[in-house]
Structure 1
Amino acid sequence: MSDDRDPTPYDALLLLSFGGPEGPDDVVPFLENVTRGRGIPTERLKEVGQHYFLFGGVSPINDQNRALLGALRKDFADHGLDLPVYWGNRNWAPYLTDTLREMTRDGHRRIAVLATSAYASYSGCRQYRENLADALATLEAEGLELPRVDKLRHYFNHPGFVGPMTEGVLRALADLPAEVREGAHLAFTTHSIPTAAADTSGPVADHGDGGAYVRQHLDVARQIADAVRAETGTEHPWELVYQSRSGAPHIPWLEPDICDHLEERHGSGVPAVVMVPIGFVSDHMEVLYDLDTEATAKAAELGLPVRRSATVGADPRFAEAVRDLVLERAATERGVPAERCALGALGPSHDLCPIGCCPARAPRPAAAGADSPYA
């Protein structure tokens, strides 16, 4: 095997995602998993679950992960990369602990982990690392020989993520009526999080107003807007906006909300808006409900033409990017120089989350970082 196809020391890849219900009876148990420890009554969970019930109680995220799993396996096979790919979720079957147990029993001892979250934040990175630590603790209690797990770096600025997103914007613009296309604004959307969590996202050196979370999204938005201008010859004004807020009203979260933004754009005479979900890897519930349903309804109420661009999903270029990330990290672990692909001003992210990176409100063990209790 040539060095550029050598995954050593890794003997498997774990696709780690959020999970979602796959039928009406799953919705409340799924939400109980997501909110465990917060004391939220079942009746409130049923209210929250209405978003899922509108779609038959099925989140699209699991099918999308199956598609990505297939795309990764095909890409690896097509390029001679002998690395099995498994899939586990934080909040629904297949559960992370079950998948990690299966991988351990299959003999895997060095596992690369791809989380379906591209940016730095507690919920998008450290919480996944805490879940990995919880799973490893369970396997340790069962007497199993523990594998080493390494989470792959953030890929928000990898060409295989930015390129498909850019093409999605171009297609969405082309789908707008010709008379409003040139004046369309771009609304880059991502999941709102508490401002306190944003301010402490990323390594300690990145902490501050919005932290790494906001800076990374702004960098991606700027790249896409510049690429769209280069392709079309038109400067489309843009802004980073937020969606899917779920916290208590008295706690500050990142703003503006997408619906408020659409109302403000319409009031200022903007003829059309393209919503660009750069914060999401696939078209899961936050995209289908908060953008395709709620925000689109708000735009219709205003008489504002809108389009929503595609996420990367199982795009072959994203699968290629994952292969690149695996081989890059593998070479680094072997002490071999490796090209680290990254667009924009921020450069490639760190491999190992340092101490103080995206801290939790209540400290918990987290694997695959400098503070990991598991070597």
Structure 2
Amino acid sequence: MAESGMSGTTARRALLVLSFGGPEKEEDVVPFLENVTRGRGIPRERLVEVGEHYYRFGGKSPINDQNLDIIDHLRTEIESRGLDLPVYFGNRNWEPYVEDTTKQMAADGVTEAIVFATSAWGGYSGDIQYREDIERALQSCRDVGITPPSMTKIRPFHDHPLFLSAFARLVDEARQSLPVEQQDNARLLFTAHSVPLSADEASSVDSTHRYSGQVLTAAREIRALSSFASDGDDGTDVELVWQSRSGPPHIPWLEPDICDHLEETVAGERGDDRPIVLVPVGFISDHMEVMWDLDNEAADTAADLGVTMVRAATPGPTPEFTELVLDLVANAER
């Protein structure tokens, strides 16, 4: 059952939080991965292997609970402002499916929905694919004779001041968690989800506006807003790495991979063994790619190399993020 913001509401406008989805228990893992990889012809036994990360956590992805946490914060703030804006939740790949949520909104009398997708970025997977989800949900209503609400997707928000300032604050908190004697010497390292080079290049003819360019620009601005900016400008740029690549090895993806980069810069010629503040700039919440790829694989690599590494939190649960979403909603209404 799709989760409704307020049962029996008479409001005709609503906010839909649209996300990727994740399994809730072990028996959900393979069906979930079948949804994610639909049409790619990946054998079931391979999906069982891929699902190992989820099995390590009892088959439950953290993403749904984290999205519900974001929604709870939104509802609390909406109520405190005296607004009549029910909040709904829908996913692409697992329950509550966006198709079901859209039908529920129609049944509740919602005629206009503003859609907040849980990705800050442009490009196919960060923006266009969510627009496809919306169109599929609208068509699923039409197919059964239901008039769906109009749905307007909020723009990518990687450049929003509240997104950048929230991350900068979390960067400083992570730095302060290091032993005092290590803080001044800390190294700042940004990471985001890798994509195939072809997909990145297709996202814009202008490299600055490609997904990779958006991530780089955001990382630079976060550094400039953080305590690292006071370290002085020595002409070096931010360090940006990539994670969570998948697919055939012969297809080039954005590089360097975070673990490869750690080994090269620490154990290689550079020999940089300073403590690291790792910033998952590509993510708004601590879902599986953060918990597994960073808190397990990257953390293990750093430990093997004898380097101290702390990770900045993601901004989804913060007051700044709640304010960001409602600011984007207000601008989408104009």
Q: TM-score, normalised by structure 2?
A: 0.91
**1:229-271 C-alpha deviation (Å, 9 max, x unpaired):** 4775566963111000012111110001111111122132321
How far apart, in 2, do the equivalents of 1:161 and 1:150 lie? 21
Match of 2:7 in 1: none
Q: Which runs of 4 or more aligned residues in structure 1 lie more than 3 Å from their structure 2 counterparts after TM superposition?
A: 208-211, 229-237
Match of 1:192 in 2: 194
Alignment of 1:128-207 (within 5 A): 128-201=130-203, 206-207=204-205
Task: Write the letter of the residue equivalent to 1:259.
Answer: C
The answer to whether the Cα contact below 8 Å between 1:200 and 1:208 also exists between their aligned partners in 2 is no
How far apart, in 1, do the equivalents of 2:148 and 2:49 lie? 40
> Are 2:265 and 1:298 equivalent residues in the alignment?
no
Cα 1:266–1:178 shift into 2, 3 Å: farther
> Are 2:275 and 1:272 equivalent residues in the alignment?
yes
Task: Write the letter of the residue equivalent to 2:41.
Answer: G
Match of 2:3 in 1: none
Match of 1:104 in 2: 106
Q: Percent identity?
A: 51
Task: Write the letter of the residue equivalent to 1:330.
Answer: E
| RMSD (CA atoms) | 1.7
Equivalent residue for 1:216, pick from 206, 211, 214? 214
Match of 1:114 in 2: 116
Cα 1:208–1:107 shift into 2, 3 Å: same
The answer to whether the Cα contact below 8 Å between 2:102 and 2:148 also exists between their aligned partners in 1 is no
Deviation at 1:175, TM superposition (A): 1.5
Match of 1:313 in 2: 316
Deviation at 1:183, TM superposition (A): 2.3
How far apart, in 1, do the equivalents of 2:250 and 2:206 lie? 21
How far apart, in 2, do the equivalents of 1:299 and 1:225 lie? 22
Stretch of structure 1 that moved more, 211-220 or 124-133 = 211-220
Match of 1:252 in 2: 252
Deviation at 1:212, TM superposition (A): 2.1
Q: TM-score, normalised by structure 1?
A: 0.82
Q: In structure 2, the residue corresponding to 1:310 is in which secondary structure?
A: coil
The answer to whether the Cα contact below 8 Å between 2:223 and 2:229 also exists between their aligned partners in 1 is no
Task: Write the letter of the residue equivalent to 1:215.
Answer: G
Structure 2: gaps (5+ residues): 1-10
**1:173-231 C-alpha deviation (Å, 9 max, x unpaired):** 11123333222221111000001111121xxxx42447521121111111111112477
Structure 1: gaps (5+ residues): 1-8, 332-375
Q: How many residues align?
A: 319
Deviation at 1:59, TM superposition (A): 0.6
How far apart, in 2, do the equivalents of 1:115 and 1:73 lie? 17
The answer to whether the Cα contact below 8 Å between 2:121 and 2:214 also exists between their aligned partners in 1 is yes
Task: Write the letter of the residue equivalent to 2:220.
Answer: R
Match of 1:37 in 2: 39
Deviation at 1:164, TM superposition (A): 1.7
The answer to whether the Cα contact below 8 Å between 2:208 and 2:214 also exists between their aligned partners in 1 is no
